[in-house]
Structure 1
């Protein structure tokens, strides 16, 4: 039989080991949100961690008192006072005031921090900005590079250290795009355009996905995001231009048909204003965010 002091010691060791395991896991690439590779992801992680620390103000005392009460008022402790009828204005005040202050602190922290991370807000960097038009389909992602005149399916590449602007729409039901290692999540909606600005601090390969359930192929609707050096990005563009396939209206109609686990595909040229035409076919008097901002 394990004695009480020994049991407490074993519990403490187990708790420390568990905390070390969790911390080690958060430091690896298995949890990209906890190990961000860009300023947006880092800011979002810090918001999460600070909110967690604020909530610990009430969580830690609750768990501590739960264990202390169980030990203090155990059946074998004959010295504990039995007071079934008592009232304490001080305890009532703490029980109400402390949670209220925590909620106020959380509300202020989340409000100010999330507004500072406006996804439409351009990111400052010495690198040359890159714009990519993104179309959510069943069940794949299409990336159009208007400046380079190419398009890809289920793969996006961009220079590290340079601002990346994603202009996003959907040619199907609502989707939600996120690259966890870089941060940000924003919805893709038919007939509308949303925007997300990201930046990768260093070269790397990340996973992007759809987080909004969209039907049978939802589980496999992910893509590869490659942050490359400037030279490697230019080489990647040059290789895409050698693909030989053109993304015109006919090719796009075939691509837009539902398909799961679609292989990475490159198009050496794209029909002009294809992205705009995808949005406008759902237009029933609505305006895109960009059009409204232009007025």
Structure 2
């Protein structure tokens, strides 16, 4: 029978080869940037990894070397049972990690501001606004400047800043195009922003990166980076073959809880302010988080004030009379009791 150690040594190379073969079919989208933001994020990822490996690799190597050198069978190894401290070792062990942490802190501080998803991309060409709305289980993209919309397909001109406004009509979700970088959440009643740019033409997969229900695995789309001429042709096709997207059509679209992939659907015209209407619809009376509502500043008192102003005058007067009568009744009762008491005492 083959010993377990010998069997492990024989099987290990085969496992490594099999893993290498299987991983060749993986889509390394994060390591294949197609835009400025994705490229800068990849540089940051590699830089941080290398800096951390400056500590990890020496520790692993020294662990193996020490284990081999000071094994029980090595009688030539130096034996110092009374040794307890070395200033030189302490300096090396603490100074190098501290310097690496300091470099990482400065690097992450700068990159967190430079790669802020809310920060517009500076470019000679004007940006395009795209409103991305997550539904169950599909993505709706509205182009307000072009007055068109499309479901499960995103098309934009290459080398042009993309200014995304993102929200949700249902549960929380995540908008993500790995080749272009940066994922960001979509939440009902709130608006998030994202700025991306594609520096190459091609088709890049987009997806939802947050589990949101039964049809979550079908919540993906293709992002097409095309030339300016092809973009205009796509807009012409969309306007010719599309339908009208108003509040009623949007409500019907959201009511379709598709479990399979929802087909690409074109809308040749969009009701003005549809995105803002959707955000407002889910906000209700919760006007917080910097939303443009005066009632938010006043809190409960402001809401109460608005309620009083909205109440009919007759109802307010009736309420006032009822309150006055109630107070008068309460005031008269103690007085009557008091007089009755005095009368009894006199008798």
Please state which band the TM-score falls in when normalised by the shorter chain. Answer: 0.7 to 0.9
Equivalent residue for 1:276?
Answer: 276
Partners of 2:153 and 2:291 in 1: how far apart?
25
Q: Tell me the secondary structure at the aligned position of residue 51 of structure 1.
A: helix
> Which residue among 46, 51, 75 is the counterpart of 1:78?
75
> Which residue among 250, 253, 256 is the counterpart of 2:254?
256
Q: Report the Cα offset of residue 143 of structure 1.
A: 0.2
Q: Report the Cα offset of residue 60 of structure 1.
A: 1.2
**In 1, are the aligned partners of 2:242 and 2:265 still within 8 Å (CA)?**
no
Equivalences for 1:129-208 in 2 at 5 Å?
A: 129-208=127-206
Partners of 2:112 and 2:38 in 1: how far apart?
12
**In 2, are the aligned partners of 1:127 and 1:163 still within 8 Å (CA)?**
yes
Q: Tell me the secondary structure at the aligned position of residue 184 of structure 1.
A: coil
Q: Report the Cα offset of residue 114 of structure 1.
A: 1.4
**In 2, are the aligned partners of 1:170 and 1:188 still within 8 Å (CA)?**
yes
Equivalent residue for 2:8?
Answer: none
Describe the superposition over 1:55-102 as per-residue Cα deviations: whole angstroms up to 9, x where unpaired: 011111111102211221234322112334421233234333332332
CA RMSD after TM alignment: 2.6
**In 1, are the aligned partners of 2:30 and 2:38 still within 8 Å (CA)?**
yes
TM-score normalized with structure 1 length: 0.85
Of stretches 178-187 and 93-102 in structure 1, the one that deviates more from structure 2 is 93-102
Q: Report the Cα offset of residue 124 of structure 1.
A: 2.0
**In 2, are the aligned partners of 1:192 and 1:289 still within 8 Å (CA)?**
no
Of stretches 77-86 and 186-195 in structure 1, the one that deviates more from structure 2 is 77-86
| Cα 1:247/1:225, change in 2 over 3 Å | same
Equivalent residue for 2:332?
Answer: none
Show structure 1 runs of 5+ residues with no match. Answer: 1-10
Equivalent residue for 2:344?
Answer: none
Describe the superposition over 1:186-209 as per-residue Cα deviations: whole angstroms up to 9, x where unpaired: 111111111111100011111111
Partners of 2:71 and 2:63 in 1: how far apart?
12
Show structure 2 runs of 5+ residues with no match. Answer: 1-11, 294-347
| Cα 1:199/1:290, change in 2 over 3 Å | farther
Partners of 2:105 and 2:91 in 1: how far apart?
21
> Which residue among 116, 123, 132 is the counterpart of 1:125?
123
Equivalent residue for 2:43?
Answer: 46
Partners of 2:289 and 2:155 in 1: how far apart?
26
Describe the superposition over 1:200-233 as per-residue Cα deviations: whole angstroms up to 9, x where unpaired: 0011111111212212222222111111100111
Equivalent residue for 1:3?
Answer: none
TM-score normalized with structure 2 length: 0.73
Equivalent residue for 2:207?
Answer: 209
Q: Report the Cα offset of residue 289 of structure 1.
A: 6.6
Q: Tell me the secondary structure at the aligned position of residue 256 of structure 1.
A: helix
Equivalent residue for 2:267?
Answer: 267
Q: Tell me the secondary structure at the aligned position of residue 200 of structure 1.
A: coil
| Cα 1:109/1:229, change in 2 over 3 Å | same
Partners of 1:109 and 1:269 in 2: how far apart?
45
Of stretches 74-83 and 153-162 in structure 1, the one that deviates more from structure 2 is 74-83
Equivalent residue for 1:67?
Answer: 64
Q: How many aligned positions are there?
A: 274
Q: Report the Cα offset of residue 240 of structure 1.
A: 1.1
| Cα 1:68/1:57, change in 2 over 3 Å | same
